Amino acid sequence: MRRGPGLAYASPSLLWLTFFFIAPLLIIVLYSFLTPGQRGGVDLPFTLNAYRAIANPSFGKVVVGTIAVALAATFFTLLIALPCGYYMARSSKQTLLLLLVIIPFWTNFLIRIYAWIAILGNEGFLNDLLRWLGLAEESVRFLYNRAAVTLVLVYTYLPYAILPLFSTIDKFDFSLLEAARDLGATKFMAIRKVLLPNIRAGIFTAFLFTFIPIFGAYAVPLLVGGTNSYMLGNLIADELTKSRNWPLASAISLVITLVTTIGVMLLLRFNGTHILEKKHEKA
């Protein structure tokens, strides 16, 4: 390989990464090995206390719970995003539909969560409707459980899954589906055997774009979740603001980073080879 001006060209992005990604990460690593300060912050000496606290089984429960909610929410997000992306790619009104997907971004994320509270709350729109229809006498408790957290997470991250799926499906040659039908495949088989394998890269991207942020979710479980839907993001916030244990908060952050990194590496191993192969073929 030639080592010429490559480094010079890469330096802006290298500087960016160093200042905004690597340096903060190193600070978090450093903090996780220090002692909590009196009013927050950190103090010497170096210690492994934060990591000892993580070994506590109650922490493991939160990790497992977070993974479960994140996987479920990601699964439902993809399940809804796939047909949406497919429909958008085939539609003649692509610009309008794209706009509709992007419009929620114009409203603040927190306000949109409060809108859900207004819909699902005990005195909310949905309960009013049920009472009006005579389907329920007492208010149904929709909020403050894992289902509510999953629902609002799916809602929040749906556009992040739709957009990469749409852009991949848009490049898909739909005559391949006709060819499959012509050769004897049912509609379902044509989609399973021809469409899905050809949009793997898009599904993979959509998965990463939803799973990673959902895994670190904080505001949604805080506002619509109950005690049993406590997620890792809430744990970090509590340690940072209530318990003022910055080293523990840092250690938990590192656990999230580690879990997602390992997850992505594993996925790349099984899925990514296909993507790399494709690039190679084109070259």
> Contact positions toward another protein, by CB under 8 A?
173, 175-176, 178-186, 189, 193-194, 197-198, 281-282
Closest CB to another protein among 86 and 116?
86
Closest CB to another protein among 51 and 172?
172
For residue 267, the minimal CB distance to another protein (Å) is 18
Closest CB to another protein among 128 and 182?
182
Q: Would you say 163 and 216 are in contact if contact means Cβ atoms under 8 Å apart?
A: no
Classify 43 as helix, strand or coil.
strand
For residue 92, the minimal CB distance to another protein (Å) is 13
Closest CB to another protein among 139 and 271?
271
CA angle 79–81–82, rounded 5-degree value: 70
Closest CB to another protein among 61 and 192?
192
Measured CA to CA, the distance from residue 18 to residue 12 in angstroms comes to 10
Q: Which residues pair with 38 in a beta bridge?
A: 40
Q: Which residues pair with 35 in a beta bridge?
A: 43
Measured CA to CA, the distance from residue 228 to residue 224 in angstroms comes to 11
For residue 96, the minimal CB distance to another protein (Å) is 21
Give the count of beta carbons closer than 10 Å to the beta carbon of residue 119: 15
Give the count of beta carbons closer than 10 Å to the beta carbon of residue 78: 20
For residue 272, the minimal CB distance to another protein (Å) is 15
Closest CB to another protein among 27 and 189?
189
Task: Please spell the DSSP secondary structure of 61-118, one letter per residue.
Answer: HHHHHHHHHHHHHHHHHHHHHHHHHHHHHH-S-HHHHHHHHHGGGGS-HHHHHHHHHH
Contacts of 158 (CB under 8 A, 6+ apart): 77, 80, 81, 84
For residue 79, the minimal CB distance to another protein (Å) is 22
For residue 174, the minimal CB distance to another protein (Å) is 10
At residue 2, φ and ψ (nearest 5 deg) are -90, 130
